[in-house]
């Protein structure tokens, strides 16, 4: 577990925070990250592209000229694919590009991306980027410049932090995300990840709650499943024995 400084809006160190090793220091699985990012990009496609085949294009019902005697190649319709204004052969049709990705794969890919950024010292935690509820793009950009000099920055904040969001929403070099929207693609697209302290605490707590289930609940759930399996097996065996006895009586 590594430790990084927490900066205030003036760029001064106001404390330290630990980066949990199970989030910010895991082995990076590049094929997994690639699969998750491709699935996310595919889900963003609208999929409304459409073309018309020769049967769907209006017109072209009659034969343009007779079959023989003109010296030209025979044609059956002016809406054939070789004509201007004709149909399209094997053109795109509307369909859904969404790929189903399990939640555990998404979470593992996000941990790998954050670990890659953390190893290079590109994960930062700040107390605030603006002063209170005052909306100021200049102040927010100045605070980010004190944190990192790289061009593309991802700022992670909580949903109720309206002042920071309003201050940075129109900056093309800064991408602002709510903590519950943090994803692998945006982490990889940015040079640095800047967490506001409340958002960082919420993110770490949420990941910890998902990865560590109480032992009592897990064991109780396992016992219930085992009991249900035993009951099903017992009823199946009883049905089979009744069927065998009925066949013997009939014979």
pLDDT of residue 189: 95
Helix, coil or strand: residue 8: coil
Decide: 89 and 82 in contact? Cβ < 8 Å.
Answer: no
- Distances in Å between the Cα of 172 and the Cα atoms of 11, 64, 197, 229 are 22, 56, 23, 57
Cβ atoms of residues 66 and 76 within 8 Å: no
pLDDT on residue 215? 46
Is residue 113 a contact partner of residue 33, using CB atoms and an 8 Å limit? yes
Contact between residue 199 and residue 123 where contact means Cβ atoms under 8 Å apart: no
Tell me, rounded to whole angstroms, the distance of Cα 56 from its chain centroid: 37
Per-position pLDDT tens, the chain of length 251: 789 999 888 888 888 999 999 999 999 999 999 999 999 999 999 999 999 999 999 998 999 999 999 999 999 999 999 999 999 999 999 999 999 999 999 999 999 999 999 999 999 999 999 988 889 999 999 999 999 999 999 999 999 999 999 999 999 999 999 999 999 999 999 999 999 999 999 999 998 887 665 544 445 555 666 676 666 666 665 665 666 566 656 65
- Spatial separation of the C-alpha atoms in residues 251 and 127, rounded to whole Å: 85
Four-point Cα dihedral 101, 198, 161, 6, nearest 10:
-110
| pLDDT of res. 89 | 95
CA dihedral 9, 15, 123, 137 (to 10 degrees): -10
Q: How far apart, in whole angstroms, are the C-alpha atoms of residue 166 and residue 186?
A: 19
Rounded-to-integer distance, Cα 198 and Cα 221, Å: 34
Q: With a threshold of 0.85, does the pTM exceed it?
A: no
H helix or E strand, kind and range, residue 157: strand 153-157
Q: Which residues, at least 6 apart from 37, have a Cβ–Cβ distance to it below 8 Å?
A: 109, 184, 185, 188
Whether 87 contacts 56, CB under 8 Å: yes
Which domains can be identified in the chain, with CATH numbers?
Answer: 2-45+100-211 (3.40.1370.10), 51-91 (no CATH)
List Cβ neighbours of 190 (8 Å cut-off, separation of 6 or more). 152, 153, 154, 175
Provide DSSP, 68-115.
SSSSSPP-S-TTSTTSTT---TT------------HHHHHHHHHHHHH
d(Cα 130, Cα 168) in Å, to the nearest integer?
A: 10
List alpha helices for the chain, DSSP H.
21-24, 30-43, 103-119, 137-147, 162-168, 184-189, 197-211, 215-250
Which pLDDT value is given to residue 2? 85
């Amino acid at each position: 577990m590594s430790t990084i400084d927490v900066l205030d809006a003036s760029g001064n160190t106001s404390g330290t925070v630990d980066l949990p090793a199970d989030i910010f220091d895991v082995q990076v699985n590049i094929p997994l990250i690639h699969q998750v990012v491709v699935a996310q990009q595919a889900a963003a496609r609208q999929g409304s592209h459409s073309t018309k085949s020769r049967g769907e294009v209006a017109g072209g019902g009659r034969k343009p000229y007779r079959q023989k005697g003109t010296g030209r190649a025979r044609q059956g319709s002016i809406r054939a694919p070789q004509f201007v204004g004709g149909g399209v052969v094997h053109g795109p049709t509307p369909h859904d590009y969404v790929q189903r990705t399990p939640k555990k794969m998404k979470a593992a890919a996000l941990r790998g991306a954050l670990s890659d950024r953390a190893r290079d010292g590109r994960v930062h935690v700040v107390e605030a980027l603006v002063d209170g509820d005052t909306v100021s793009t200049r102040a927010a950009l100045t605070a980010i410049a004190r944190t990192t000099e790289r061009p593309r920055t991802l700022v992670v904040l909580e949903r109720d932090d309206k002042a920071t969001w309003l201050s940075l929403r129109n900056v093309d070099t800064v991408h602002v995300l709510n903590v519950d929207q943090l994803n692998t693609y945006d982490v990889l697209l940015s040079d640095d990840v800047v967490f506001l302290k409340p958002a960082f605490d919420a993110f770490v707590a949420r990941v910890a709650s998902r990865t560590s289930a109480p032992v009592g609940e897990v064991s109780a759930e396992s016992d219930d499943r085992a009991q249900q399996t035993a009951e099903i097996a017992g009823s199946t065996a009883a049905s089979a024995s009744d069927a065998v006895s009925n066949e013997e009586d009939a014979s």
